[in-house]
Amino acid sequence: MTTSSGTPESPVKDGDSPSLRQKLHWATGDRDEEAKALADRSDGEVSEQDAKVAVNRAHGDSPEPVRTDGSIASPEDAEEVRDERVGTDSTRDTR
């Protein structure tokens, strides 16, 4: 993607600073490793599975349409996934 001035648009959400490791895996298309790098950046706040969902959403590969602010997932994206899952899990009948 490009901006109206013709310069390439940044894949990074404003205010986020992906690690070099995450950028490498984003660039090479290794989503499993990109998700691991994202989970590591999240200081134990999210699981690798939640990070994987966030990475897939950022790449546009999600069964439900979810808008993301960049094509590199941020810790906030992964926390949103975690919060969605917690909300879903808490509504299940465990009897």
Break the chain into its structural domains and give their ranges: 20-90
Token code pair at residue 45: 């706040």
Question: Regarding predicted confidence, which is higher, 49 or 8?
Answer: 49
Are the C-beta atoms of 38 and 22 separated by less than 8 Å?
yes
For the chain, the first-to-last Cα distance in angstroms comes to 49
Q: What is the pTM of this model?
A: 0.62
Instruction: Give residue-wise pLDDT tens across range 33-62.
Output: 999 999 998 888 889 999 999 898 888 877
DSSP conformational letter for 59? T
CA–CA separation, 25 vs 19, rounded Å? 10
Question: Regarding predicted confidence, which is higher, 91 or 59?
Answer: 59
